[in-house]
Structure 1
Amino acid sequence: MLNPQWLRSFAAVAELGGFTRAANQLGLTQAAVSQHVQHLEGQLGPLLIRRGRQIELMPAGVALLDYCNEVEQAHKRLQRQLTDSTVDSGEVSLITPGSVGLALYPLLLDLQQAHRGLVIRHRFAPDTETREAVLDKRYELGLVTLRPDDPRLAAEPFAEEPLELVVPAGENVASWADLERLGFIDHPDGRAMATRLLARHFPGNPGLRGLPLRGFSNQISLILEPVARGLGFTVIPRHAREAFANAQAIRVIECGTPVVDTLWLVHRAEWPLSSRAVWLLDQIRARLAFGAASA
């Protein structure tokens, strides 16, 4: 590793064309500047041709000056990253469950359209992958459905996500027999969600095992397609239902007291969030709150 002070002295000599001018600019003696250049030449070979008070760079000197400029630019980039308070430009990374991701993604695109310098990197993932991605520093922000107990992750409530019983349009569910008639459209979290919601709506029910299975999808955006085609019912988070384009083909059955999941915002506990991340979260919260008030 080359001494940074030697590099500054060499760059000043090369750019100003002399040792005296370089020494004056750096606040050093001419002897100190000359000594710094001699140290570099001892490691790298001849750098300068001295002709009286004029100097000329040798090939090694040209290469070293390029290196000095690269080091200076890298230093400036580091300073900008460490002190950057710009909130509406640069990259923010976010990893979320698919259901809330469907609701968030249009909001993220709206923000990028309004702030062209902003780059939002978003990924759909289950809780396990989200925790690992945040811990591995691949994503700054994550949303999970279960609060993590890893002390390396800071977690705070971010949003609530009610579960909904969704049936084909025109259908009604007044009894367990209606569910048996319709049949169940399953998904990766379907049985767990349906068990929780239906236990509250139909206390003492015989359980999902007695319901006919009409289909399965692991794509959050496609789970409601078979429901819309009249093939069965499902239980799904509200954000996923709200993002479904063919809303007129489905119906939400009122189930009384809602079953609500909490979405937890997670990030590395040791590090403060970037200004961009804080700004992005404020924008998302405001828009989600407005959407809920308008629903």
Structure 2
Amino acid sequence: MINPQWIRSFGVLAELGSFTRAADQLGVTQAAVSQHIRQLEQRLGLLLIRRSRGIELTPAGRALLDYGTEIDQADRRLRARLDGADAKGGEVGIITPGSLGLLLYPLLLDLQEADRGLVIRHRFAPDHEVLDAILKTRFELGIVTLKPDDPRITASPFTREPLELVVPAGEEVKHWSDLERLGFIDHPDGQAMAIRLLSLRFPRNPGVRSLPIRGFTNQVGLILAPVARGFGFTVIPRYARLAFAQPDAIRVVDGEHPIVDTLWLIHRAEWPLSAHAEHVVARLRGLIAGDGGALL
């Protein structure tokens, strides 16, 4: 690795064009600056040509100058990330389940548009991947559907999300036979969600697995597309339904026995959130509450 002080001396010399002025600005002797340049040229080749009116950088010298600029920029980014003092500037990484992510991602973009210093990095993932990403510090913030019991994780209630029975617009569901007629649009969590909700709505039903399957997709944003076309019904979390672009083509069947899950905001317990992460969390809580979400 090249000595950072040598690179610093070269950068100041390139800027001022004089060994004497460079030494004065750096607070060292002219001989020290010359020694730094010799050390660099022994490693990298000829970096500058001395002229009567100053110096001229060689291609290798210009490359080293660019390298020094990149180091300075990386150093500033590191200091800003470690400091985290700017609430409206910096990178915020958040990883969430698919349903809530459909709601949050446009809100995150709104925040980034309002505060251009923010850099939003978002990923959709199931609970186990969210927890792993937080533990390995790949993301600063995570949201999960089950509260972790790991002492390295701090968890706080973020919002509540009901499961919903969703059918094509105009359809009625009063009996189990209506579900059998419609058929089920399945997804990776579909069977588990349907068992939880339908076992309460229809307590003596023959079982979700007895229903005909009319379709399947693993993309949370597309689950309601076949429902909107009349191919069947499904059971999904509310935020996935709210994000669907054709609300007039579907209908939620209300029931007496709601299933409501608490969603948990998690982060590492050993250190506090950065100022910009706290800013994003506060804004998201307000936006969800203002949009009719069940904020905790």
After superposition, what is the alpha-carbon deviation per residue over 1:3-51, rounded to whole angstroms, capped at 9, x for unaligned? 889999999999999999999989999xx99xx99x99xxxxxxxxxxx
Amino acid at match of 1:238: R
Amino acid at match of 1:223: I
Paired position in structure 2 for 1:216: 216
Paired position in structure 2 for 1:91: 91
Q: How high is the TM-score relative to the length of structure 2?
A: 0.77
Amino acid at match of 1:81: R
Instruction: Report the alpha carbon displacement of residue 215 of structure 1 after superposing the two structures with TM.
Output: 1.4
Q: Does the Cα contact within 8 Å between 2:80 and 2:90 map onto a contact in 1? A: no
Paired position in structure 2 for 1:45: none
Paired position in structure 2 for 1:186: 186
Closer, same or farther: CA 174–154 of 1 in aligned 2, 3 Å = same
Amino acid at match of 1:229: R
Paired position in structure 1 for 2:195: 195
Paired position in structure 1 for 2:238: 238
State how far apart, in whole Å, the 1-side matches of 2:106 and 2:72 are: 40
Determine helix, strand or coil for the equivalent of 1:87: coil
Unaligned runs of 5+ in 2: 41-54
Amino acid at match of 1:165: L
Paired position in structure 1 for 2:45: none
Report matched runs for 1:207-286 at 5 Å.
Answer: 207-286=207-286
Determine helix, strand or coil for the equivalent of 2:221: coil
Instruction: Report the alpha carbon displacement of residue 81 of structure 1 after superposing the two structures with TM.
Output: 3.0
State how far apart, in whole Å, the 2-side matches of 1:193 and 1:22 are: 69
Paired position in structure 1 for 2:149: 149
Paired position in structure 1 for 2:120: 120
After superposition, what is the alpha-carbon deviation per residue over 1:256-282, rounded to whole angstroms, capped at 9, x for unaligned? 231011212122222321111110111
Paired position in structure 1 for 2:163: 163
Instruction: Report the alpha carbon displacement of residue 183 of structure 1 after superposing the two structures with TM.
Output: 1.4
After superposition, what is the alpha-carbon deviation per residue over 1:107-134, rounded to whole angstroms, capped at 9, x for unaligned? 1121122222322111111112222222
Closer, same or farther: CA 9–105 of 1 in aligned 2, 3 Å = closer
Closer, same or farther: CA 292–25 of 1 in aligned 2, 3 Å = same
Paired position in structure 2 for 1:292: 292
Q: How high is the TM-score relative to the length of structure 1?
A: 0.77
Instruction: Report the alpha carbon displacement of residue 185 of structure 1 after superposing the two structures with TM.
Output: 1.1
Instruction: Report the alpha carbon displacement of residue 209 of structure 1 after superposing the two structures with TM.
Output: 2.1
State how far apart, in whole Å, the 2-side matches of 1:108 and 1:9 are: 43
Instruction: Determine what percentage of the aligned residue pairs are the same residue.
Output: 64
State how far apart, in whole Å, the 2-side matches of 1:199 and 1:64 are: 69
State how far apart, in whole Å, the 2-side matches of 1:220 and 1:22 are: 60
State how far apart, in whole Å, the 2-side matches of 1:192 and 1:72 are: 52
Paired position in structure 2 for 1:51: none
State how far apart, in whole Å, the 2-side matches of 1:64 and 1:102 are: 45
Determine helix, strand or coil for the equivalent of 2:109: helix
State how far apart, in whole Å, the 2-side matches of 1:258 and 1:248 are: 23
Paired position in structure 2 for 1:46: none
State how far apart, in whole Å, the 2-side matches of 1:100 and 1:293 are: 11
Amino acid at match of 2:108: L
Paired position in structure 2 for 1:48: none
Amino acid at match of 1:176: W
State how far apart, in whole Å, the 1-side matches of 2:293 and 2:149 are: 32
Paired position in structure 1 for 2:51: none
State how far apart, in whole Å, the 2-side matches of 1:140 and 1:253 are: 37
Closer, same or farther: CA 134–16 of 1 in aligned 2, 3 Å = same
Instruction: Report the alpha carbon displacement of residue 152 of structure 1 after superposing the two structures with TM.
Output: 2.7
Instruction: Report the alpha carbon displacement of residue 293 of structure 1 after superposing the two structures with TM.
Output: 6.3
State how far apart, in whole Å, the 1-side matches of 2:247 and 2:68 are: 61
State how far apart, in whole Å, the 1-side matches of 2:193 and 2:171 are: 21
